[in-house]
Amino acid sequence: MTQYKIPVLSGDGIGPEIIAEGKKVVDVAGEKFGFDVEWIDYPHGADHYLETGELISEDTLKELSGYPAIYLGSIGDPRIAPGVLEKGILLTARFYFDQYINLRPVKLLEGVWTPLKDKTAKDIDFTVVRENTEDFYIGIGGRAKKGESKDLLEVKRTLYSAKFGLDIETDSEEIGYQIGLISKEGTQRVMEYAFDLAEKSRKHVSSVDKANVLSDIYGFWREEFEAVASKHPDITTDFNFVDAITMWFVKNPEWFDVVVTPNMFGDIITDLGAMIQGGLGLAPGGNINPQGTSMFEPIHGSAPKYKGMNKVNPIATIWAGAMLIEQLGEKEAADSIVGAIQQNILNAKVRTYDMGGSNGTSDVGDDIARLVREG
């Protein structure tokens, strides 16, 4: 029997509850398909930070880098200032492990309500490939008061490093600035991943940018897209400004197969994707390094007001678990889990409140695990 060791960061709020259901379903899939997962729990999150002052250490990151995948619950707690945990744990891990792909399946399952009139499961089935380590999310910027000042901003990545020496002179009382950066190497590798994905689906890749306004950074993105596309002549392509693609997601989601996008725009449009596929409770995501350590999670937050209530929908987390084991090579088991999620929804007997039911988090996990076992 194949053995896997998978670190788990259950995180905050509802994180431990939803992760418990994801582990339960993966364990059942393992029993059926001939593999075993040893879950290794890590404490990092709000409670750990409040007790120790530590977000996540270099030693812990080095230890985690020895594993192929991490299972993440949710990060965020009202006792701690917004962004502290997210930047200090989630973004730190993404950058440290060079998880340069954020993978978001946008798939409407049969039996799930969508706010898009007359659209069905056959119309909403595409994947967003978001660049995950560059753009305006590199985390460098600052503020300057009236007069003259200097700043040195630096970004370090596996692929390169860059420094920005700023001589600032302003007669405004105060300004704020943020530096965005994309690299040829970083852009090409995420696009190659998107084109490889399209080779296995409907052979269409849509690019997202805002080159008509931010021509330096996103004109560069568009040029690299054209260069990568030229190496894949069997793939059809199109360009979309980010504001336009939000319209097309709503009006004609059936147009899309694989969508590749810079980091910031991807963050925005994947939330729209979550809503047209039925809501955040049904939206999984993966932070991927194809040659390193990847991390899988639901894209919703920690919902602290529901902590300990056994109330929230665990499907996004269970689906993220399916993505995790598929990354490990267990595709048949992953497909079985997604199929069981679909059957649970079609049966319409065991549902959480957000889907019109009255069952608890663990009830849904139990039912999906049963369907995997019996499938």
pLDDT (0 to 100) of residue 157:
85
- Taking the C-alpha atoms of residue 245 and residue 255, their distance in angstroms, rounded to an integer, is 11
**Parallel, antiparallel or unpaired: strands 258-261 and 125-131:** parallel
- Domain ranges in the chain with CATH number 3.40.718.10: 2-113+278-374
- Taking the C-alpha atoms of residue 259 and residue 315, their distance in angstroms, rounded to an integer, is 23
Element of type H or E holding 103: strand 101-107
Class of domain 2-113+278-374: alpha beta
Closest to 44 in 3D by CA, of 85, 92, 78, 95 = 85
pLDDT means over runs of 10, the chain (375 residues): 96 97 98 97 96 96 97 96 92 93 97 96 98 91 94 90 94 95 97 97 97 96 98 97 98 98 97 95 96 96 95 98 97 98 97 95 98 95
**DSSP result, 311-338:** -S--HHHHHHHHHHHHHTT-HHHHHHHH
Specify the pTM: 0.94
Tell me the pLDDT tens digit for each residue of 102-159. Answer: 999 999 999 999 999 999 999 999 999 999 999 998 888 999 999 999 999 999 888 8
**Which amino acid does the sequence have at 240?**
N
- Local structure of residue 181 (DSSP, 8 states): B
**Which amino acid does the sequence have at 324?**
L
Residue 326's alpha-carbon distances to 19, 125, 155, 269, 339, in angstroms, are: 17, 18, 32, 24, 14
- Taking the C-alpha atoms of residue 281 and residue 98, their distance in angstroms, rounded to an integer, is 27
